[in-house]
Amino acid sequence: MAAPPAGNPKPMAIILVFSAIVLFSVTSAAAGPEPPPQWRRSSIETCVRLLFDPPPQPPPKLKVILCRDLLRTIITSFKITGKLSPEYLEAIKKLPKYKNNPSGLKKFLCGLSPSKEIGCQK
């Protein structure tokens, strides 16, 4: 008897890419205060701008999915450890909505996780 066909390889490729991003993000977060590579800083900043201040022309769907997953991983890590990624914080501070609005920024960040690091009250 012959084995059934393997199926569509695209979902498997997406799962592998997502798994690699999650694994890299988690291991990078656990590695400590070593400054991240420049490409990681720019990818976080790009994802923050893409999702919070989207461009007029919609980006590719896969890029949006990967950015959401990357930022979701950062937020989950923040909720677990209470420490926010400095790259993420800097990228959020650059958004027009929070650039000159420290109280709005604090409210947004405290809504993610009531961290003493940011000055949130539990």
Asked whether residue 22 is assigned to any structural domain, the reply reads no
Asked whether residue 6 is assigned to any structural domain, the reply reads no
To 5 degrees, how large is the angle CA 77–CA 11–CA 68?
A: 30
Looking at the structure of the chain, the number of domains it has is: 1
Residue 36 is encoded by which pair of tokens?
């991240």
Q: How far is CA 27 from CA 50, 61, 115, in A?
A: 24, 26, 22
Asked whether residue 14 is assigned to any structural domain, the reply reads no
Asked whether residue 81 is assigned to any structural domain, the reply reads yes
Looking at per-residue pLDDT, the higher value among 3 and 48 belongs to 48
Q: Note the pLDDT of residue 8.
A: 66
Is residue 113 within 8 A of residue 82, CB to CB? The reply is: yes
Asked whether residue 43 is assigned to any structural domain, the reply reads yes
Asked whether residue 52 is assigned to any structural domain, the reply reads yes
The CA distance from 89 to 56, in Å, is: 24
Proportion of the chain in helix, strand, coil states, percent, rounded to 5: 65, 0, 35
pLDDT, one tens digit per residue, over 57-86 is 888 888 888 888 988 888 888 888 878 888
pLDDT, one tens digit per residue, over 88-108 is 888 888 888 888 888 888 888
What residue type is 110 in one-letter code?
C
37: left (phi over 0), alpha (psi -120 to 50) or beta: beta
Structural domain of 60: 36-122
Asked whether residue 75 is assigned to any structural domain, the reply reads yes
* Exposure letters 81-98 (e unless 16+ CB within 10 A, then b): eeebbebbbebbeeeeeb
Specify the range with the lowest mean pLDDT, choosing from 15-24, 56-65, 106-115. Answer: 15-24
Q: What is the pTM of this model?
A: 0.56
Asked whether residue 3 is assigned to any structural domain, the reply reads no
